[in-house]
Amino acid sequence: MLLFGTGCELPSAAFQGEGIRFPHLNGIVVSDKARIGSGRTLFHQVTLGIASEEDGDSAPVVLNNVTIGAGSKIIGPITIGNNVIVGANSVVTKSIPQDVTVVGANRILKRKVQQ
Q: Is residue 5 part of a domain?
A: no
Distance CA 47, CA 89 (A): 10
Q: Domain total for the chain?
A: 1
Over the stretch 6-33, which tens digit does the pLDDT of each residue have? Answer: 888 888 889 888 888 899 889 999 999 9
Distance CA 91, CA 69 (A): 11
Q: Is residue 97 part of a domain?
A: yes
Q: Is residue 24 part of a domain?
A: yes
Range of the domain at 58: 12-110
DSSP state of 113: P
Strands of the sheet containing 107-110, edge to edge, are 41-42, 67-68, 85-86, 100-103, 107-110
Contact 30, 44 (CB under 8 A): no
Estimate to the nearest angstrom the gap between the alpha carbon of 47 and the chain centroid.
7
Which CATH number is 90's domain given?
2.160.10.10
pTM of the model: 0.87
Question: How large is the average pLDDT for residues 63-92?
Answer: 96
